Amino acid sequence: MNNRVNSEFSSVGGWAKRCYFAGRALMETTLRPYDLGSTQWYVLWHLATNGPTAQRDLVRLLDLERATLSGIVAALVRKGLVDQSAGGKDQRQRTLQLTEAGKTLWSDLPDLHFIHDAAFGDIDPADLAIAIRVLQTATGRLHDLLGKGNNE
């Protein structure tokens, strides 16, 4: 009787949600001693790996909304981990880079690869590829339906 809607909740969509939150929870538990959230970690990771970056580029690289990133950057600046400077020729843009404290903290952080490895490490790569393709296709369709086809 309620198979139809129930299937929406307990199938790919539902498991995508559960898997996302389970991974995020593990990241946040691991990072809690360092007072960092999961997306804050991604920003630090990018700055540590790729050096100073324009905030406007991070929006696309991390696939967030401007407003979301703005808040996350504000938190990292408040903690003294990231410097947000108005440097360049375009006075609208902000450049983000690690402060000394940010570099020090980054070098102290544990390696988070174990999360990905534990979750997906010994799953058949062919199955992984199929799962990615299914999620990617579904995401594209949903974005299309949402009004703008931003499935690049």
Partner DNA sequence: ACATAATTGTTTGGTAGCTAACAAATTAGG
Partner DNA sequence: CCTAATTTGTTAGCTACCAAACAATTATGT
Query: Which helix (H) or strand (E) is 1 found in, with range?
Result: none
- 67 contact, one of a second copy, DNA, none, CB 5-8 Å limit per kind: DNA
41 scored as a contact of DNA (CB under 7 A): yes
For DNA, which stretch binds (CB under 7 A), given 4-12, 66-74, 108-116, 137-145? Answer: 66-74
DSSP assignment letter at 89 = S
Residues 55-74 that bind a second copy (CB under 8 A): 63
Distance CA 54, CA 73 (A): 12
Residue 131 binding a second copy, by CB under 8 A: yes
Helix (H, G, I), strand (E, B) or coil at 96: strand
Any contact of residue 150 with DNA (CB under 7 A)? no
Helix (H) or strand (E) holding 98: strand 95-98
Classify 87 as helix, strand or coil. coil
Annotate 29-85 with DSSP letters as a single string.
HHHGGGT--HHHHHHHHHHHHH-SEEHHHHHHHTT--HHHHHHHHHHHHHTTSEEEE
CB closer to DNA out of 74 and 123: 74
* Choice from 30, 94, 102, 106 touching DNA (CB under 7 A): 94
Q: How many helices (H) and strands (E) does the chain have?
A: 8, 3
Q: Is 109 in the site for a second copy (CB under 8 A)?
A: no
90 binds a second copy (CB under 8 A): no
Is position 17 an interface residue for DNA (rule: CB under 7 A)?
Answer: yes
Contact residues toward a second copy (CB under 8 A) are 2, 4-5, 7-9, 11-13, 15-20, 22-23, 25-26, 29, 42, 45, 49-50, 63, 112-113, 115-116, 118-120, 123, 127-128, 130-139, 141-143, 145-146
